[in-house]
Chain A
Amino acid sequence: MRRGIAATALVASLALAATACGGDSGDKASGGPVTITWWDTSDATNEAPTYKKLIAKFEAANKDIKVKYQNVPFAEAEQKYKTAAQAGNAPDVLRADVGWTAGLAENQYLAPLDNTPATKEIDSFNKGLVDGAKVDGKLYGVPQVTDALALLYNKEIFAKAGVQPPKTWAELSAAAKTIKKKTGVDGIYLNPDSYFALPFLYGEGGMMVDTDNKKITINDAAAKKGVQTVVDMIKDGTAVKPDYTDGYNNMQAAFKDGKVAMVINGPWSTADDLTGKAFKNKANLGVASVPSGSAGKAGTPTGGHNLVVYNGSDAAHKDAAQKFVAFMTSAASQEFAATETGVLPTRDDAYTVKVVADPIRAAFKDVLADSTARPAVSGVSDMFAEWTKQYIEILKGNTTVEKGLDTTADKWKSTVKSLKDYSVE
Chain B
Amino acid sequence: MKTATADPATAGRPPRAGLLTRMKRSYDRHWYAWAMVLPVVLVIGVLIAYPLGRGVYLSFTDANELNVAKQLGATEIPATYQFVGFDNYWRVLSGADGEFYPKLAWTVVWTVSCVFFHYTIGLGLALLLNRKLKGRSLYRVLLILPWAVPAFVATYIWRMMYNSESGIFNALLGQLGFAPVDWLGDTFMQKVAVIGVNVWLGVPFMMVAVLGGLQSISSEQYEAAEMDGANAWQRFRHVTLPGLRPVSATVILLGTIWTFNMFPIIYLMLGEANALHSEILVTYAYRLAFGSVRDYAGAATYGILILSMLLVFAVFYRRMLNRQEAAR
The residues in B between 58 and 74 inclusive whose CB is less than 8 angstroms from any CB of A are: 65-66, 68, 70-74
From known contacts A79-B290, A245-B184, A250-B165, infer whether A107 and B75 are also in contact, taking CB-CB under 8 Å: no
Instruction: Please encode chain B, from 160 to 192, with 1 for each CB lying within 8 Å of some chain A CB and 0 for all others.
Output: 001111100000000000000010111100000
Selected from B73, B184, B291, the residue in CB contact (under 8 A) with A243 is B184
From known contacts A389-B276, A416-B293, infer whether A245 and B72 are also in contact, taking CB-CB under 8 Å: no
Complex Cα spacing A274 to B298, Å: 45
B: number of interface residues (CB 8 Å): 34
Tell me if B's interface is mostly helix, strand, loop or mixed: loop
Q: Which of A7-15, A81-89, A275-283, A368-376 faces chain B?
A: A81-89
Instruction: Tell me, yes or no, whether A301 is within 8 Å of chain B by CB.
Output: no
Is there an interface contact between B65 and A82, defined as CB atoms closer than 8 Å? yes
Selected from B70, B74, B291, the residue in CB contact (under 8 A) with A86 is B70
Instruction: Tell me, yes or no, whether A193 is within 8 Å of chain B by CB.
Output: yes
Complex Cα spacing A85 to B69, Å: 11
Q: Which of A47-55, A199-207, A377-385 faces chain B?
A: A377-385
Q: Which of A63-71, A116-124, A288-296, A309-317 faces chain B?
A: A309-317
Residues in B neighbouring A79, C-beta threshold 8 A:
290-291
Instruction: Tell me, yes or no, whether A417 is within 8 Å of chain B by CB.
Output: yes
Complex Cα spacing A379 to B295, Å: 14
A: number of interface residues (CB 8 Å): 42
Report the nearest A residue to B68, measured CB to CB. Answer: A86
Instruction: Tell me, yes or no, whether B140 is within 8 Å of chain A by CB.
Output: no
The residues in B between 233 and 280 inclusive whose CB is less than 8 angstroms from any CB of A are: 269-274, 276-277
Is there an interface contact between B164 and A243, defined as CB atoms closer than 8 Å? yes
Tell me if A's interface is mostly helix, strand, loop or mixed: helix
Report the nearest B residue to A311, measured CB to CB. Answer: B72
Most buried by B among A108, A241, A243, A312: A243
Instruction: Please encode chain B, from 133 to 177, with 1 for each CB lying within 8 Å of some chain A CB and 0 for all others.
Output: 000000000000000000000000001001111100000000000
User: Distance in Å from the Cβ of B12 to the closest Cβ of chain A?
Assistant: 51
Selected from B68, B77, B182, B293, the residue in CB contact (under 8 A) with A379 is B293
Other than the given A244-B184, A245-B163, 8 more pairs (CB < 8 A) read: A83-B290, A86-B68, A253-B165, A253-B166, A311-B73, A312-B71, A385-B292, A398-B187
Interface residues of A (CB under 8 A from B): 75, 79, 82-83, 85-88, 106-109, 192-193, 241, 243-246, 250, 253-254, 310-314, 379, 381-382, 385-386, 388-389, 391-393, 396, 398, 415-417
A-B pairs, top 7 by smallest CB distance, nearest first, are: A312-B72, A312-B73, A382-B292, A88-B71, A245-B184, A388-B273, A244-B185
